[in-house]
Amino acid sequence: MIKVSASLLAADPLALGEAATRMQAAGVDWLHVDVMDGHFVPNLNFGPAVVAALRQHTSLPLDVHLMLDHPEEYIETFIRAGADWLTIHQEIAADVPALLRRIRALGARPGLSIKPDTPAQAALPLLPLADLVLVMTVHPGFGGQKLIPGALGKLSALRDAAGALGRPMHWQVDGGIGPENAVLAVQAGADVLVMGSALVSAPNPADVAAQIHAL
């Protein structure tokens, strides 16, 4: 079944616990927590304390998306805080293979993300080290943007290459995904859809989650 990861970036920051409870009641599969450093992306938001507070509040897996130039300084902190999945970006200057290995060694599941302008080829050598690939479908930094459909085309090349590895992986898309275009993402090869504004701000998020689960 296609999974829904609800992005709390779209929630009222003063009511994150309530949003997490509402998303769990709506039947979502994971909670997506966007972490931004004001350098890798032009925005700032949640830190490890928010992840730790969410961990106390919900039993849903926490899918933490690190949009940080220097995740090496915070990987351990986020895993101790309760991140189940920890995704870093391919585009950073750090030693990405070493960081993916470290995430796994510390007990979380490593994810690798690429921005819309990054070619699929850039991620290929890293596939053996990741359990999840996140193909960004907007330029990261803000919720509520419009899907860049061309980014979806990268999923098939990545999935083909990963097929040779012979192990299960998740294929995530993030940015501008809603009920109107979710089928395109699934047809392109995604199996985990991150949804912020189209889900968290929906009057009936359970209907939205059910629609995605039915794809």
What does the binding site for Zn ion look like in residue numbers (CB under 5 A)? Answer: 34, 65, 174
Among residues 34, 37, 131, 191, the one annotated as catalytic is 34
Chosen residue from 48, 82, 110, 140 binding ligand DX5 by CB under 6 A: 140
* Phi, psi values for residue 62, rounded to 5°: -100, 120
Residue 144 sits in the site that holds ligand DX5 (CB under 6 A): yes
Chosen residue from 48, 71, 196, 205 binding ligand DX5 by CB under 6 A: 196
Chosen residue from 133, 138, 162, 185 binding ligand DX5 by CB under 6 A: 138
* Phi, psi values for residue 181, rounded to 5°: -125, 5
**H or E element: which one contains 56?**
helix 48-57
Known catalytic residue: 95?
no
Chosen residue from 100, 194, 208, 209 binding ligand DX5 by CB under 6 A: 194
Vertex 180: Cα angle to 175 and 186 (nearest 5)? 70
Which of helix, strand or coil describes residue 102?
A: helix
Known catalytic residue: 174?
yes
Q: Which has the closest alpha carbon to 136: 128, 148, 121?
A: 148
CB 15 within 8 A of CB 205: no
Nearest distance in Å: CB 167, ligand DX5? 26
- Tell me whether residue 42 or residue 107 sits nearer to ligand DX5 (CB atom): 42
Residue 176 sits in the site that holds ligand DX5 (CB under 6 A): yes
At position 147, the amino acid (one-letter code) is: L
Eight-state DSSP code of residue 92: S
Instruction: List, by residue number, the catalytic residues.
Output: 34, 174
List contacts with ligand DX5 (CB under 6 A).
7, 9-10, 32, 34, 65, 138, 140-141, 143-145, 174-177, 194-198
